[in-house]
Amino acid sequence: MAGPLPIADPAPADGLLPASATTDAASRAFGVYLHVPFCRVRCGYCDFNTYTSGELRGARQEDFADQAAAELGFARHVLAASGAPDRPAATVFFGGGTPTLLPAADLVRMLGAVRDAFGIADGAEVTTESNPDSVDAVDLRRLADGGFTRVSFGMQSAVPHVLAALDRTHDPERVPLVVGWAREAGLDVSLDLIYGTPGESLADWRASLAAVLAERPDHVSAYALIVEDGTKLARRIRRGELPAVDDDLAADMYELADELLGEAGYEWYEVSNWATDAAQRSRHNLGYWRGDDWWGVGPGAHSHVGGVRWWNAKHPAAYAERLAAGVSPAVGRETLDHATRETERILLATRIREGVEVSSLHAGGRHAVAGLIADGLVDARTALAGRLALTRRGRLLADAVVRRLLED
Amino acid sequence: MSPRAAAPPVPAATDPALIRNFCIIAHIDHGKSTLADRMLGITGVVADRDMRAQYLDRMDIERERGITIKSQAVRMPWQVGDTSYALNMIDTPGHVDFSYEVSRSLAACEGAILLVDAAQGIEAQTLANLYLALENDLEIIPVLNKIDLPAAEPEKYARELADLIGGSPDDVLRVSGKTGMGVEDLLDRVVERIPAPTGDADAPARAMIFDSVYDSYRGVVTYVRMVDGQLNPRERIQMMSTRATHEILEIGVSAPEPTPTKGLGVGEVGYLITGVKDVRQSKVGDTVTTAAKSAAEPLAGYTEPLPMVFSGLYPIDGSDYPELREALDKLKLSDAALVYEPETSVALGFGFRCGFLGLLHLEIVTERLRREFDLDIIATAPSVVYEVTTEDKKTVTVTNPSEFPTGGKIAEVREPIVKAAILAPKDYVGTIMELCQSRRGTLLGMEYLGEDRVEIRYHMPLGEIVFDFFDNLKSKTAGYASLDYEPAGDQAADLVKVDILLQGEQVDAFSAIVHRDKAYAYGVLMTGRLRELIPRQQFEVPIQAAIGARIIARESIRAIRKDVLAKCYGGDITRKRKLLEKQKEGKKRMKMVGRVEVPQEAFIAALSGETEKKDAKK
B588 touches chain A (CB under 8 A): no
Interface test with A, best of B541, B564, B614 (most A CBs within 10 A): B564
A350 three-state secondary structure: coil
Say whether pLDDT at B608 is over 70: no
Decide if A399 and B565 are in contact by the 8 Å CB cutoff: yes
Contacts B539 to A, Cβ<8 Å: 375
**CATH homologous superfamily for the domain A9-290:** tm_1862 like domain (3.80.30.20)
Q: In chain A, positions 299-358, which contact chain B (CB-CB < 8 Å)?
A: 301-304, 309, 311, 334, 340, 343-344, 347-348
pTM greater than the 0.80 cutoff: no
pLDDT of res. A285: 94
Q: How confident is the model at residue B566 (pLDDT cuts 50, 70, 90)?
A: low
Closest chain A residue to the Cα of B562, Cα to Cα: A396
Q: How confident is the model at residue B93 (pLDDT cuts 50, 70, 90)?
A: low
Say whether pLDDT at B128 is over 90: no
- Whether the ω angle into residue B315 lies within 30 degrees of 0, i.e. cis, is no
pLDDT of res. B1: 37
Q: How confident is the model at residue B381 (pLDDT cuts 50, 70, 90)?
A: confident
A370 touches chain B (CB under 8 A): no
In three state form, how does the secondary structure of A214-278 look?
A: HHCCCEEEEEECCCCCCCHHHHHHHCCCCCCCCHHHHHHHHHHHHHHHHHCCCEEEECCEEECCH
CB A18 within 8 A of CB A203: no
**Interatomic CA distance for residues A251 and A271, integer angstroms:** 12
pLDDT of res. B217: 82
A8 touches chain B (CB under 8 A): yes
Query: How far off is chain B from A304, nearest CA to CA, in Å?
Result: 8
Contacts B575 to A, Cβ<8 Å: 3, 6
Q: State the average pLDDT over residues B10-22.
A: 92
Fill in the DSSP letter of residue B169: G
Closest chain A residue to the Cα of B582, Cα to Cα: A403
Query: How far off is chain B from A7, nearest CA to CA, in Å?
Result: 10
A361 touches chain B (CB under 8 A): no
Q: State the average pLDDT over residues B353-369.
A: 87
Decide if B570 and A334 are in contact by the 8 Å CB cutoff: no
What are the start-end ranges of the E strands in B249-328? 250-254, 258-260, 269-273, 287-290, 309-315
Closest chain B residue to the Cα of A225, Cα to Cα: B566
Interface test with A, best of B537, B574, B584, B614 (most A CBs within 10 A): B574
- Binding-site members of B are 29-34, 145-148
Contacts A254 to B, Cβ<8 Å: 562
Fill in the DSSP letter of residue A398: H
- Binding-site members of B for GTP are 29-34, 145-148
B538 touches chain A (CB under 8 A): yes
Query: How far off is chain A from B561, nearest CA to CA, in Å?
Result: 6
Decide if A33 and B571 are in contact by the 8 Å CB cutoff: yes
Q: Which amino acid is at B192?
A: E
Of A247, A303, A311, the CB nearest to B618: A247
Buried/exposed A351-360: b ≥16 CB within 10 Å, e otherwise: bbbebbebee
Contacts A396 to B, Cβ<8 Å: 561-564
Decide if A247 and B580 are in contact by the 8 Å CB cutoff: no
Q: In chain A, positions 120-159, which contact chain B (CB-CB < 8 Å)?
A: none
Decide if A397 and B539 are in contact by the 8 Å CB cutoff: no
pLDDT of res. B68: 42
pLDDT, tens digit, 9 for 90 and up, residues B534-559? 999 989 999 999 998 899 999 999 99
Point out which residues pair with A192 in neighbouring strands.
Answer: A154, A221
Of B570, B574, B583, the CB nearest to A6: B574
Decide if A399 and B538 are in contact by the 8 Å CB cutoff: no
- CATH fold for domain A337-407: Arc Repressor Mutant, subunit A (1.10.10)
B584 touches chain A (CB under 8 A): yes
CB B52 within 8 A of CB B256: no
Query: How far off is chain B from A208, nearest CA to CA, in Å?
Result: 18
Using alpha carbons, select from B60, B101, B88 the residue that is nearest to residue B211.
Answer: B101
Query: How far off is chain B from A288, nearest CA to CA, in Å?
Result: 6
pLDDT of res. A91: 98
Using alpha carbons, select from B519, B507, B517, B537 the residue that is nearest to residue B607.
Answer: B507
A269 touches chain B (CB under 8 A): no
Query: How far off is chain B from A46, nearest CA to CA, in Å?
Result: 11
B575 touches chain A (CB under 8 A): yes
Decide if A6 and B575 are in contact by the 8 Å CB cutoff: yes
Query: How far off is chain B from A40, nearest CA to CA, in Å?
Result: 20
Contacts A397 to B, Cβ<8 Å: 538, 560-564
Backbone angles phi, psi at A11, to 5 degrees: -85, 140
Residue by residue, DSSP assigns A147-173 as T--EEEEEEE-S-HHHHHHTT--S-TT
Of A48, A244, A399, the CB nearest to B570: A48
State which H helix or E strand residue B512 sits in.
strand B512-515
Q: Which amino acid is at A85?
A: P
Closest chain A residue to the Cα of B585, Cα to Cα: A403
Contacts A226 to B, Cβ<8 Å: 565-567
Using alpha carbons, select from B247, B18, B29 the residue that is nearest to residue B119.
Answer: B29
Backbone angles phi, psi at B223, to 5 degrees: -95, 130
Close Cβ partners of B448 (under 8 Å, ≥ 6 residues apart): B426, B454, B455
Of A244, A344, A397, the CB nearest to B538: A397
pLDDT of res. B480: 81
Buried/exposed B237-250: b ≥16 CB within 10 Å, e otherwise: bbbbeeeeebebeb
Say whether pLDDT at B615 is over 50: no
Q: In chain A, positions 215-254, which contact chain B (CB-CB < 8 Å)?
A: 223-224, 226-227, 244-245, 247-248, 250-251, 254
Q: Which amino acid is at A138?
A: V
Would you tell me how many other CB atoms lie within 10 Å of the CB of residue A262?
A: 13
pLDDT, tens digit, 9 for 90 and up, residues B35-82? 988 998 899 887 765 665 555 555 555 444 444 434 478 999 999 999
Say whether pLDDT at B206 is over 90: yes
Close Cβ partners of A369 (under 8 Å, ≥ 6 residues apart): A358, A361, A378, A383, A388
Give me chain B's average pLDDT, please. 86
**Interatomic CA distance for residues A176 and B32, integer angstroms:** 82
- Flag whether the ipTM exceeds 0.90: no
Contacts A–B by Cβ distance under 8 A: 107
**Interatomic CA distance for residues A13 and A33, integer angstroms:** 21
More confident residue, A10 or B456: B456
Domain boundary assignment for chain A: 9-290, 337-407
A292 three-state secondary structure: coil
pLDDT, tens digit, 9 for 90 and up, residues B306-338? 788 899 999 988 899 999 999 998 888 778 788
Of B564, B575, B617, the CB nearest to A399: B564
Low-confidence stretches of chain A (pLDDT < 50) are 1-5
